[in-house]
């Protein structure tokens, strides 16, 4: 890990002071390598895994050159999913806390178009969005990119996987040729190389080692003969190790749904995350998984991109990834921040060539391991610690986390230790409570008052 300090960069004092307040002192490797050329105005291609600190790298670059007094859209960041766009916007706002009057606007699909038009009419400095919705605004002439000085393509490989190449090229055509372009990607397939040749100007290429510390992530491989055995293997390992939070990666949307349904039928706590879900169901799945109201998330790579879950115990590769760098990216979601993690991968005879490629990148011989004894199937699946309640009121009704905690822990209520994560959006709020007190918590919220009035409350289940 590089030990360079943010203080060694030519950042303005407001940014440096805020970084210090956030305990951002030492740069990560991708920040140390990419920030100097970004601050020098160079185009950059940076390859690094999720959690490497890339968001802060490009965010600090665009905030440093931003002219707050010039109320025009000066930076555009394209992301593959709404979830990632929301995370990027949140991080930019955190990093910009020391600079007054910066406006960051998120433009994504899955939400009404009208309010976004109203927000654009009030102006913004930084736009973060998904290619489809940005293209919609450009088509309707509700968005003008003539003043963009910095364009960022975040998770570029996933955007191309999702079929956004034409939309991206159309958007880029409507930005100034003199802009700075920053491309961040976990993997670097040939399609990225092709598109980078005509949208970047003499870019600096940076690659941060994608390997993970074998001391923090234990990898296990199992040879599977058919799909029936694949599901049995997954159940055996879930029952043997009882991970409190795990992601199961499948290669198709159909298989994601089938695996999640089968796990639920077998008594496990599982949710599906794939591109065919509507936005409400996607949001609820991510909220429930993040607040530990569900133990298992079954997902495709595209749907899981941008997923930032703390303390992920295990990753399961139900199918091997088509690309070995994607494999490394998948397992890098566990074993973070010094914690221990496990990665279990299933493969068949037809995957032997992928195993050989993985041996090269992992620099180890891969031996098929024995599955737990079949008697393990008699154990009871682990149930989630928390259950989620949905309140039909949010920021527009001036509801704050403290109001919800107060309503739950008031007279004859539950204790504060039994209240988990709270997430509030404009028109609704979600709160996780420990499983054993769900009846009392539901009663307190549904019969009591929030901000002087009653709100409809429901238990969110699969």
Distance of CA 432 to the CA centre of its chain: 20
Distance from C-alpha of 413 to C-alpha of 405, rounded to nearest angstrom = 10
Query: Beta strand pairing status for 419-424 and 429-434?
Result: antiparallel
What pLDDT score was predicted for residue 363? 80
What pLDDT score was predicted for residue 360? 82
Mapping DSSP to helix (H, G, I), strand (E, B) and coil, where does residue 389 land? strand
In terms of residues, how long is the chain? 462
Mapping DSSP to helix (H, G, I), strand (E, B) and coil, where does residue 182 land? strand
Low-confidence ranges of the chain (pLDDT < 70): 1-3, 49-52, 209-215, 303, 305-311, 335-339, 462
Contact between residue 387 and residue 293 where contact means Cβ atoms under 8 Å apart: yes
Contact between residue 302 and residue 251 where contact means Cβ atoms under 8 Å apart: no
Question: Mutual orientation of helices 165-173 and 190-199 as an angle, nearest 10°?
Answer: 10
**CB neighbour class for 132 (10 Å; exposed up to 12, middle 13-18, buried from 19):** middle
Other Cβ atoms within 10 Å of 140 Cβ, number: 10
As assigned by CATH, the class of the 217-378 domain is alpha beta
Contact between residue 172 and residue 134 where contact means Cβ atoms under 8 Å apart: no
**CATH fold match for the domains 217-378 and 386-460:** no
Q: What is the dihedral of CA 172, 100, 81, 333, to 10 degrees?
A: 120
Distance from C-alpha of 262 to C-alpha of 301, rounded to nearest angstrom = 20
In this structure, what token pair is assigned to residue 107? 């433009």
In this structure, is the dihedral angle defined by the CA atoms of residues 333, 91, 170 and 275, taken in order, positive or negative? positive
In this structure, is the dihedral angle defined by the CA atoms of residues 152, 158, 163 and 165, taken in order, positive or negative? positive
Q: Locate the domains of the chain by residue range.
A: 6-207, 217-378, 386-460
What pLDDT score was predicted for residue 451? 85
Other Cβ atoms within 10 Å of 150 Cβ, number: 22
Q: What is the dihedral of CA 236, 242, 247, 251, to 10 degrees?
A: 0
Measure the N-to-C terminal CA separation of the chain; round to a whole number of Å. 41
Give the CATH superfamily of 6-207.
P-loop containing nucleotide triphosphate hydrolases (3.40.50.300)
What pLDDT score was predicted for residue 2? 45
> Which residues, including other chains, have CB under 8 Å from residue 424's CB and lie 6 or more apart?
394, 395, 399, 400, 401, 430
As assigned by CATH, the class of the 386-460 domain is alpha beta
Which residue's structure tokens are 């994601």? 256
What pLDDT score was predicted for residue 1? 44
**CB neighbour class for 56 (10 Å; exposed up to 12, middle 13-18, buried from 19):** buried
Distance from C-alpha of 252 to C-alpha of 302, rounded to nearest angstrom = 10
In this structure, what token pair is assigned to residue 413? 């209520």
What pLDDT score was predicted for residue 36? 95
The residue among 131, 110, 133, 132 whose CA lies nearest residue 120 is 133
110: left (phi over 0), alpha (psi -120 to 50) or beta: left
């Amino acid at each position: 890990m590089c030990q360079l300090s943010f203080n060694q960069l030519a950042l303005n004092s407001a940014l440096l002071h805020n970084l210090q307040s956030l305990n951002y002192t030492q740069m990560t490797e991708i920040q140390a390598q990419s920030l100097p050329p970004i601050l020098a105005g160079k185009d950059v291609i940076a390859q690094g895994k999720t959690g490497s600190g890339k968001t802060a790298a490009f965010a600090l670059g665009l905030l440093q050159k931003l002219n707050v007094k010039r109320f025009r859209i000066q930076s555009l960041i394209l992301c593959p999913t709404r979830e990632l766009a929301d995370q990027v916007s949140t991080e930019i706002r955190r990093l910009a806390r020391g600079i007054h009057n910066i406006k960051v606007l998120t433009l994504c699909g899955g939400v009404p178009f009208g309010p976004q038009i109203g927000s654009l009419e009030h102006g913004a400095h930084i736009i973060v969005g998904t290619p489809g919705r940005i293209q919609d605004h450009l088509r309707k002439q509700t968005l003008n990119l003539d003043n963009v000085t910095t364009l960022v393509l975040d998770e570029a490989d996933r955007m191309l996987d999702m079929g956004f190449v034409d939309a991206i090229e159309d958007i880029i055509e409507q930005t100034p040729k003199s802009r700075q372009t920053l491309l961040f990607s976990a993997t670097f397939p040939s399609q990225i190389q092709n598109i980078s040749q005509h949208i970047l100007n003499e870019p600096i290429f940076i690659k941060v080692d994608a390997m993970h510390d074998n001391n923090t992530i234990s990898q296990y491989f199992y040879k599977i003969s058919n799909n029936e055995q694949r599901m049995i293997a997954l159940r055996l390992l879930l029952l043997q190790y009882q991970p409190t939070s795990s992601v199961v990666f499948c290669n198709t949307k159909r298989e994601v749904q089938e695996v999640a349904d089968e796990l639920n039928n077998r008594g496990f706590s599982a949710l599906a995350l794939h591109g065919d879900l509507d936005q409400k169901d996607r949001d609820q799945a991510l909220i429930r998984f993040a607040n530990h109201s569900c133990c298992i998330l079954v997902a495709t790579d595209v749907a899981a991109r941008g997923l930032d879950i703390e303390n992920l115990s295990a990753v399961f590769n139900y199918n091997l990834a088509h690309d070995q760098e994607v494999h490394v990216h998948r397992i890098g979601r566990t074993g973070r921040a010094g914690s221990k993690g496990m990665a279990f991968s299933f493969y068949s005879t037809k995957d032997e060539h992928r195993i050989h490629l993985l041996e090269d990148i992992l620099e180890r011989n891969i031996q098929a391991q024995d599955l737990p004894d079949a008697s393990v199937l008699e154990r009871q699946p682990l149930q989630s610690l928390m259950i989620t309640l949905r309140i039909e009121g949010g920021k527009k009704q001036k509801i704050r986390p403290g109001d919800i905690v107060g309503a739950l822990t008031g007279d004859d209520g539950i204790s504060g230790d039994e209240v988990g994560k709270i997430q509030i959006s404009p028109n609704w709020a979600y709160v996780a409570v420990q499983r054993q007190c769900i009846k009392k918590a539901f009663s307190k919220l549904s019969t009591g008052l929030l901000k002087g009035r009653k709100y409809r409350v429901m238990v969110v289940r699969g």
